[in-house]
C-alpha cells in the first residue's frame, strides 16, 4: 500500500464527516434522526438569483472556462455590497478576488504564505479548517484562548507578552463561530495595529455578519493594510452554501499573491453562478430581514431546547447557531450528546470539536424548519422526564 504524505498524517478527518456516517447508519436502521448539527442553510436563494442561473445556463458559449479572477461585474457587485453594508471602499479590479467558496480561500491563503517552521495563531474555540489548513502547509498551530470570561475576544496584550517572532498569520472570525460573539470597530482597529506592530497577517473570516445581526461590520472598516485581509461568503447570508461563492478582500499585492496559488488549483467559477451571485449581491434590506425573521422563530424554539437541557446561553449572540454551556452536573459533553442521539434520535454538536475551550459547551444549528425544532424539543423533553 502506498503511504500517505506526511502533510496528511497530522490532519484528522473532519468530525462532521465521521458523524454523518454514523447518522446515516442509524437512519439505515430505521431511526428518524433529527440533525441539528451542521450550519447548512435549508432555505433557498431568492427567486431572482435562481432565475439568473437558469437564464445564463440556457445560453450558448457560457459553459467554458472562466477567468480566475471572476468576471468584472461580479467584482463590481462585491465592491458595491461592501460599500453599502460595511462602508468600506474597495477597488474591484485590484482588491477583490472571487472564490469557489470561502473555505477554499482559507487553504489558498495558507498555501500562499505559510512555510514549515512558521507559526499560525488559531482561535480556541474556532473553526477546525484554520488549524487543518495550517498543518497541511507544514506550519505550526499556536492556539490562543477565547473564553466567556473575556467575552470570547482575543487577549492581545497577553499574546504580545509571548514570543511572536515565528508567527506569520493569525486567524480571527467575527461574528464568531461557534460562540456568536460580535466584534467592534475598535477591536478590528486593535487587531490591525497588532498585526502591523508584529508583522503578522490578520485574516478575518466573515461569513456570518448578516445573520441575526443588525450591524454588519467588516474588519476592513479599520482600513486596508499590508497585514490585514478578509474572507466573505454568500453561503449563509444568501442561502447559497452549495453554490460555493466567496471572496477575499485585501490590498493588490495580497490579491496577486493568492491568485498565483489559486490559478494553479482551479479553473474559475461557472458563469451562471457568477451571474446569480451578482443578483444576490443586489438584494436589499428586505431580503436580510425576511431571512432573519425565519431564524428568529427557530431560535426561540432552540432556546427552549437549551432550557430543557439546563444549559446557559447568551441571547445577544448572532449567527445561525446557538452556543450554550452545559450544566455542572454533566461530567462529559460527549456522553451527553450521544445519549441525546441514541435516546432521543437528535444530533447536537459537541463544543469540543472547536477546541479544548469548547469542551463544556454544545452548539445547535438553526438550519431546520421550526416544526423540526419543535419535534426535537418534544423528544428531548420525553427523555428528560423518564
Query: Per residue in 50-70, pLDDT tens?
Result: 999 999 999 999 998 898 899
The answer, yes or no, to whether residue 182 has pLDDT greater than 80, is: yes
The answer, yes or no, to whether residue 385 has pLDDT greater than 80, is: no
- Each residue of 101-149: pLDDT tens digit? 899 999 999 999 999 999 999 999 999 999 999 999 999 999 999 999 9
| CATH hierarchy code of domain 6-44+286-384 | 3.90.1150.10
The answer, yes or no, to whether residue 10 has pLDDT greater than 70, is: no
The answer, yes or no, to whether residue 202 has pLDDT greater than 80, is: yes
Q: What is the mean pLDDT of the chain?
A: 94
The answer, yes or no, to whether residue 14 has pLDDT greater than 90, is: no
| Reported confidence tier of residue 386, pLDDT bands at 50, 70, 90 | low
Pairing of strands 228-233, 246-249: antiparallel
Other CB atoms within a 10 A radius of the CB of residue 329 amount to: 6
User: Which stretch of 24-28, 47-51, 52-56, 357-361 has the lowest confidence by average pLDDT?
Assistant: 24-28
The answer, yes or no, to whether residue 247 has pLDDT greater than 90, is: yes
The answer, yes or no, to whether residue 17 has pLDDT greater than 70, is: yes
The answer, yes or no, to whether residue 12 has pLDDT greater than 90, is: no
Angstrom distance (rounded) from CA 383 to CA 345: 10
CATH T-level fold of 64-283:
3.40.640
pLDDT for 11: 67
- Hey, CA dihedral for 369, 371, 375, 378, is it positive or negative? positive
pLDDT for 6: 80
Phi-psi region of 50 (alpha: psi -120 to 50; beta: other; left: phi over 0): alpha
Domains 6-44+286-384 and 64-283 share a fold: no
| Reported confidence tier of residue 231, pLDDT bands at 50, 70, 90 | very high
pLDDT for 267: 85
pLDDT for 358: 95
Angstrom distance (rounded) from CA 122 to CA 143: 5
Domain locations along the chain: 6-44+286-384, 64-283
Amino acid at each position: 500500500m502506498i503511504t500517505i504524505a506526511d502533510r496528511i498524517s497530522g490532519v484528522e478527518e473532519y468530525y462532521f464527516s465521521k458523524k454523518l456516517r454514523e447518522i446515516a447508519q442509524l437512519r439505515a436502521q430505521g431511526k428518524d434522526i433529527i440533525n441539528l448539527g451542521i450550519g447548512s442553510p435549508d432555505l433557498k436563494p431568492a427567486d431572482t438569483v435562481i432565475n439568473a442561473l437558469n437564464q445564463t445556463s440556457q445560453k450558448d458559449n457560457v459553459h467554458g472556462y472562466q477567468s480566475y479572477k471572476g468576471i468584472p461585474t461580479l467584482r463590481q457587485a462585491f465592491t458595491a455590497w461592501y460599500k453599502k453594508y460595511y462602508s468600506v471602499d474597495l477597488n474591484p479590479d485590484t482588491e477583490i478576488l472571487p472564490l469557489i467558496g470561502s473555505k477554499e480561500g482559507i487553504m489558498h491563503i495558507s498555501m500562499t504564505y505559510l512555510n514549515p517552521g512558521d507559526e499560525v495563531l488559531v482561535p480556541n474555540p474556532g473553526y477546525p479548517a484554520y488549524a487543518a489548513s495550517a498543518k497541511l502547509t507544514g506550519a505550526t498551530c499556536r492556539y490562543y484562548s477565547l473564553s466567556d470570561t473575556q467575552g470570547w475576544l482575543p487577549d492581545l496584550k497577553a499574546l504580545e507578552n509571548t514570543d511572536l517572532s515565528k508567527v506569520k498569520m493569525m486567524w480571527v472570525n467575527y461574528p464568531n463561530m461557534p460562540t456568536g460573539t460580535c466584534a467592534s470597530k475598535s477591536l478590528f482597529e486593535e487587531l490591525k495595529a497588532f498585526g502591523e506592530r508584529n508583522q503578522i497577517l490578520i485574516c478575518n473570516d466573515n461569513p456570518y455578519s448578516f445573520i441575526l445581526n443588525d450591524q454588519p461590520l467588516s474588519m476592513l472598516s479599520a482600513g486596508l493594510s499590508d497585514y490585514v485581509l478578509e474572507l466573505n461568503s454568500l453561503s449563509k447570508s444568501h442561502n447559497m452554501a452549495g453554490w460555493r461563492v466567496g471572496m477575499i478582500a485585501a490590498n493588490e499585492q495580497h490579491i496577486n499573491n493568492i491568485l498565483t496559488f489559486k490559478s494553479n488549483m482551479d479553473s474559475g467559477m461557472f458563469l451562471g453562478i457568477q451571474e446569480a451571485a451578482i443578483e444576490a449581491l443586489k438584494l436589499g434590506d428586505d431580503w436580510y430581514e425576511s431571512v432573519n425573521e425565519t431564524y428568529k422563530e427557530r431560535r426561540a424554539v432552540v432556546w427552549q431546547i437549551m432550557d430543557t437541557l439546563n444549559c446557559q446561553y447568551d441571547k445577544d449572540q448572532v449567527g445561525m447557531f446557538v452556543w450554550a454551556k452545559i450544566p455542572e452536573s454533566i461530567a462529559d459533553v460527549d456522553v451527553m450528546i450521544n445519549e441525546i442521539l441514541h435516546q432521543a434520535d437528535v444530533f447536537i454538536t459537541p463544543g469540543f470539536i472547536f477546541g479544548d475551550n469548547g469542551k463544556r459547551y454544545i452548539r445547535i444549528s438553526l438550519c431546520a424548519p421550526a416544526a423540526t425544532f419543535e419535534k426535537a424539543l418534544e423528544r428531548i423533553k420525553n427523555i428528560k422526564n423518564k
